[in-house]
Amino acid sequence: MRPKTCDTEKLDKLICIRLSELEKKLLRQRCGKEGYRTISDFCRAKLVRKREIRRIEASEDFIRVTQKLDYELNKIGVNLNQVAKNLNTHPVYQFSGADRKVFRQVLIELEKCFSILQQYMDKIEPR
């Protein structure tokens, strides 16, 4: 036999809202996707209950690496701006050996940054 519900937990109050057919359909789909059995359960969870806040803590190593990546990406941006300035300053600019060297350095740094970021992403969301 089901235990009696105390008066403060009874769900005996009714609130009515009007929705279009499309809105009701979308609401039902969202309820199903988020794992709620009924529209009432969904509405109570979204309207009355406290919002769940997920806190992600970062290790000192992660903070250090991301700060280093930020610094490296900034340097890459500076290099790219120098190349863009040379390209836009001269109407018929020819790439020099120095420009090619800068592009290679930028590519290498971007690959390193991507590799490190990918490692951390794999830890957060394993494939």
Question: What are 100-123's pLDDT values in tens digits?
Answer: 888 888 888 888 888 887 777 777
* pLDDT above 60 (res 70): yes
DSSP state of 125: S
Where exactly are the structural domains of the chain? 19-53, 60-124
| pTM over the 0.85 mark | no
d(C-alpha 48, C-alpha 68), whole Å: 43
Candidates 72, 83, 78; CA nearest to 112 is 72
Q: pLDDT higher for 83 or 51?
A: 83
